[in-house]
Chains A and B, each alone.
Chain A
C-alpha cells in the first residue's frame, strides 16, 4: 500500500493497536521543561514507579525563566521553586538537564534541534503544544498534556489515536519580504484555527523545499495554530546538512547509515491524504493578525474583513479595531522578536539586515530575545549585537519571555505589540496586552517606523 511520510514513521513506532482504541506509540525522544513536568514526576512518585528510559529524556528551563541576570538567583519565588523542582527531579531520575546558565540552555524547541537531538524519522513528544516544530526534520513530534508526560516517564510510550492525514502544498516563487512566518500565517488565515483538528499535516511543494531548516521550523511550529497536532516536512539534503556534525547527531558510519534510512522518508507517489489544500506562493504577502486567534490574519496592506465570524466582534473590541479598517500607519509602541517560532539565528540575521544603519522610532520598546544560549553566542559572533544595540533595541538572555509572559517580560495593558511569537490570544503577552503576530522582518520594520507600514517598498 502507498504510504505517506507520516504513515511510515508512525507505523514503525506502533507497539500495539488497541481494537477500537488508540495505538501504543513508542517515543524516541521526550523533552521536558519546568512548567508541565512537576505534576508528572509527582504522579510517578505517588505510584512508586521509576522513570523507564531516562536516557531518552532531555530537560531544559525556558518558560518561566528571567531574561536578565540569569547568573543571579531567580527573584520570583514561585518560579525559583519550579526551577528547583525541575533540577531535583532530573537529579533523582538521572535525566540530562540543560538548566539556566548551561551553554545548551534555551527554549526547548530551539535547543533540541540545534544539538542534533531532533533527527528525521523519530517520534518526539513534549508537554508543550509547539512540539510540532520538530516536524521540520521529518519527525513525528507533538505536544502532550501532563498526564501523558507521566505515561511516557513510566513506559516511553503514549496512548494515542492515529490522526488523519492532511497535506498543504505551496508552490511558486515567494515575493520579496515574504518570510516563512508569512507563509504559515497565510495558510492559517485561509484554513482557520480548527481546520487541522484531528490531523497531522505534511507541508509539500517547492516553497518548503527551498526553505532553510529555520524557516521549516517556523512553519511546523504553528501547525498547532490551525488545530493540527503536528506538521512535518520530508527530510532532504538541507535537513541532512543541518543535522550533520551536531553534538548528538550520529557520526561517521552511523551517520551514513542513518542518512540512508532518512532518504526513504518521503510520501509515496499516489499515497492518499484525507484532506489536501494547495496555495500559490505569489498570492502571499507579509502578514499581520488583527484579532485574538492566529487565524485572524490579513496581508499588512489589507483591511480587516467586514463580515467576520461569530467571534470577530469580541476580538475586535478587545483589539480596539473596527471592521473594514486598514492597520497601516497604526502606531505601535512594542515589538518582540523571539519565541520558539522565530528566535533562531536566521530570524535575527533577517531583522538585523533591515535594522543595520537605522534607528528604532522613539516611541518603540524593542525587545530581542534569542531562543538559546547558542543562538545568543551566534548573535555575538556575527556582530549582530552591535547592530541591535546601535539601533536602540534591547537584547536579552534566552527564554520563552514575552511570548507567554510568565516571567517579567510583559506588554502593558492596552498596548499593541508586533510580535514574532505564535499566539495573539487575549492577554497572552500580559493582562490586557494586544498582540499582532508577524514575521521578524515586519517586527523590525515596525520598530524602525514606530507604526505598521508597507516596508516592502523600501526593500532592496
Chain B
C-alpha cells in the first residue's frame, strides 16, 4: 500500500448527504474480476445522463473543481460492502475523502486502499463547502501525523480522529494481511484450545 503522510491540494465539493455505494459505483459495473478501470464509472449515473453525455451540473464535471480531495455530505459511503467503491474513488484520482460521517464498512475499505477518510464536525464541513465554492482554487491541507485538516490560507483547521493502528499502517504503507500472517502461530494455538464451543472445525 502507498504511504500517506501529508497532502495539500484543491478539493471537489460533493454537497450531497447519504451518498451510497450504489451511486459511487453502480452494481452493473461490478462484473470485473480485477481492480482496474473503476475510476471511469465513479458516480456514473450522476456524472453522465442516459445518453452518456456528461451532466454539466454535477460537481465532478465542473471545470473549476479539481484536486485529489473529495469533500462530501454527511453519512458518506452507506450501503453495500463493495470495496469497488473505494477502488473507484482512488482510481479516479482522489486520495482523501472528507465528510462529517462515514459508514463503517466504507471507512474500513478506504483505509485498506490508502484512501484517507477524514471525519470532521458538521460545522467544519459547512465551512469547507463555503470556502471551496467561494474559491475553487483554495488549498486544503491534510496532515495525518498531526491528525489535522485545514485551509492554511484562511487559518482554519480542525483535529480529526483516526484509529492509531490504522494511522500507523497509512503512514508506513503497511497492510493487514502481512500483519495477520505474522500471527498465524497464535491463531493456530487459539484453534487448538477451541475456547469457543462452536462447530467451527467440523468439516462441511
A172 at the interface (CB under 8 A from B): no
Interface hit among A32-40, A271-279, A391-399:
A32-40
CA distance A442 to B16 in the complex (A): 31
A16 to B180, CA, bound (A): 11
Contact residue among A12, A28, A156, A423 (Cβ-Cβ distance under 8 Å from B187): A156
Candidates B20, B109, B197; contact of A121 at CB < 8 Å? B197
With A28-B198, A154-B181 in contact, do A36 and B81 touch (Cβ < 8 Å)? yes
- B55 surroundings in chain A (CB, below 8 A): none
The listed residue (A12, A193, A425) touching B195 by CB distance below 8 A is: A12
Residue B12 at the A interface, CB < 8 A? Answer: no
Q: Is the CB–CB distance between B204 and A96 below 8 Å?
A: yes
Q: In angstroms, how far is the closest chain B Cβ from the Cβ of A439? A: 21
Residues of A within 8 A of B45 (CB): 426-427, 431
Q: A29-B200, A154-B181 are in contact. Are A36 and B104 (CB under 8 A)?
A: no
List the A side residues contacting B23 at CB < 8 Å.
425-427
Q: Is the CB of B31 within 8 A of A64?
A: yes
Shortest distance in angstroms between A200's beta carbon and chain B's nearest beta carbon? Answer: 10
Interface segment out of the listed B60-68, B71-79, B137-145, B149-157: B71-79
Asked if B164 lies at the interface with its beta carbon under 8 angstroms from chain A, I say yes
| Contact segment of B2-10, B32-40, B89-97 | B32-40
- Bound form: Cα–Cα A229–B109 in Å: 14
Structural contact, B165 and A20, CB atoms closer than 8 A? yes
Please tell me if the beta carbons of B28 and A157 are within 8 angstroms of each other in the complex. Answer: no
User: Which one of A41-49, A322-330, A346-354 is at the B interface?
Assistant: A41-49
User: What is the 8 Å Cβ interface bit string for chain A, positions 301-332, against chain B (1 contact, 0 not)?
Assistant: 00000000111001000000000000000000
Mark out the residues of chain A between 50 and 96 whose CB falls within 8 Å of any chain B CB in the assembled complex.
Answer: 52, 55-56, 58, 63-64, 76, 78-79, 81-82, 85, 96
Residues of B close to A159: CB separation below 8 A: 165, 176, 179-180
**Does B27 have its Cβ within 8 Å of any Cβ on chain A?**
yes
CA distance A453 to B161 in the complex (A): 48
Interface code B105-126, partner A: CB below 8 Å = 1, 0 otherwise?
A: 1001100110000000000000
Query: With A52-B184, A128-B80, A197-B103 as given contacts, are A42 and B34 in contact (CB-CB < 8 Å)?
Result: yes
**For residue B33, which residues in chain A have a CB less than 8 angstroms away from its CB?**
38-39, 42, 81-82, 85
What separation, in Å, do the CA atoms of A117 and B198 have in the docked complex?
11
Kindly supply a per-residue 1/0 record for chain A positions 6-43, scoring 1 wherever the CB is within 8 Å of any chain B CB and 0 otherwise.
00010011011010111010101100000110110011
The reply to whether A15 and B79 form a contact with Cβ atoms under 8 Å apart is no
Contacting pair B81 A47 (CB below 8 A)? no
> A309 — which chain B residues lie within 8 A by C-beta?
17
B86 on the interface (CB 8 Å rule)? yes
- Whether the pair A406, B105 counts as a contact (CB closer than 8 A) is no
Asked if B53 is at the interface of the complex by the 8 Å CB criterion, the answer is: no
Cβ 8 A contact of A194, one of B34, B75, B113, B179: B75
- The total of chain A residues at the interface (CB under 8 A) is 86
Q: Which residue of the partner chain B has the closest CB to A312? A: B17
Contact of B26 with A by CB under 8 A = yes
> Min CB distance, A115 to chain B, in Å?
9
B184-A144 in contact (CB<8A): no
The distance in angstroms between the C-alpha atoms of A63 and B29, with both chains bound, is: 12
Q: What A residues does B79 contact at CB under 8 A?
A: 129, 423, 425
Question: Using a CB-CB cutoff of 8 Å, which residues 231-280 of chain A contact chain B?
Answer: 248, 250, 254, 257-258, 261
* Residue from B30, B112, B184 in contact with A155 in the complex, judged by beta carbons closer than 8 Å: B184
Say whether B104 contacts A310, CB under 8 Å.
Answer: no
Chain B residues, CB < 8 A from A194: 18, 74-75, 78, 101, 103
B182, closest chain A residue (CB):
A155
A383 to B203, CA, bound (A): 35
Picked from B101, B109, B165, the residue with its CB within 8 Å of the CB of A147 is B109
Given the complex of chains A and B, what is the CA–CA distance between A285 and B106 in angstroms? 33
Cβ contact within 8 Å between A406 and B112: no
Assembled-state Cα–Cα distance A310/B80 (Å): 22
Q: Are B165 and A21 in contact (CB under 8 A)?
A: yes
A residues sitting closer than 8 Å to B (CB atoms) are 9, 12-13, 15-16, 18, 20-22, 24, 26, 28-29, 35-36, 38-39, 42-43, 47, 49, 52, 55-56, 58, 63-64, 76, 78-79, 81-82, 85, 96, 117, 119, 121-122, 127-129, 131, 143-148, 150-151, 154-157, 159-161, 163, 193-194, 197-198, 227, 229, 248, 250, 254, 257-258, 261, 293, 309-311, 314, 404-406, 413, 423, 425-428, 431-432
Report, nearest first, the 8 A-B pairs whose CB atoms are least far apart: A21-B165, A147-B112, A145-B109, A38-B33, A28-B200, A155-B180, A145-B83, A78-B31
